[in-house]
Amino acid sequence: MAEKVSSKKFNHLPNHVAIVPDGNGRWAERRGWPRLQGHRAGVENMHRMVQYLNEYPIKYLTLYSFSSENWGRPESEVSGLFELLLEVIDSYLQEIHEKNIRMCHIGRLESLPEELQKAITQAVTLTKNNTQLTLNIALNYGGRPEIVDAVRRLITDGIKPKDITEKTFSKYLYTAGLPDVDLLIRTGDETRLSNFLLWQTAYSEYHFTKVLWPDFRKKDLDRALLSYSRRKRRFGGL
Ligand code: IPE
Ligand code: MG
């Protein structure tokens, strides 16, 4: 098992890091390349990021790979992205499994291409008992659809209004069993949440950077972690 990076450098580290990896398109456009080249560099960087994160005592990483709103992009970009994601799962699943990483998925699986659905289900099943990092892929995910789906399931299960607490509600979200997000990182010079983990980021710390996702490296991650470790979280208390 990989030697863990000493956490001495940081006062405390987040347990759950969520990333909005933005800026793939601009990264490619600046080079005069097609946007899909940027997405390719982006998925390669996701692989790199998993290696980095796995060196820290951080237990959960959620990556926003495709949002419920990304369907609004040209069909060629959408299908190109799905092909890339399928390719990356095929290439790295064995390695992920060997590194004892557990893969999870959040989002609406049923509207994705069948092959991609199969690959995700297979990856989740294969790695379900792994105990190192939990790599949670948000694919066809939206925070609002997630809440709507939770309400539908609560009603289907006949849960009585008086029994609906924050705790029971959380169990109906896609993220059931995963802890709230401690640190949310967004690259690509945009300072918005874009329908990502609306419920789970209620008390998260945010880190925004101008760095475009394909260029985001370990030093940028360290910068985010250092900034997090210097903050005092009060959760509304004193
Ligand atoms: C993020 O990069 C990747 C996805 C949303 C899938 P973008 O594609 O949003 O890149 P920009 O914002 O156009 O540069
Ligand atoms: Mg973008």
Report pLDDT digits (tens) over 17-57.
999 999 999 999 999 999 999 999 999 999 999 999 999 99
d(C-alpha 24, C-alpha 41), whole Å: 7
102 forms beta bridges with 134
From ligand 2's centre to the CA of 137, what distance in Å?
A: 17
Backbone angles phi and psi of 164, in degrees to 5: -85, 105
Per-domain boundaries in the chain: 16-142+180-227
Whether residue 24 lies in the annotated active site = no
Span 16-142+180-227: which CATH code? 3.40.1180.10
Q: What is the pTM of this model?
A: 0.96
From ligand 2's centre to the CA of 156, what distance in Å?
A: 36
Q: Is 24 in the pocket of ligand 1 (CB under 6 A)?
A: yes
Q: Residue 98 — very low, low, confident or very high, per pLDDT cuts 50/70/90?
A: very high
pLDDT, tens only, 139-175: 999 999 999 999 999 999 999 999 999 999 999 999 9
Ligand 1 atom nearest residue 21's Cα? 1
Reference 146, options 176, 104, 116; nearest CA is 176
The DSSP output letter for 212 is -
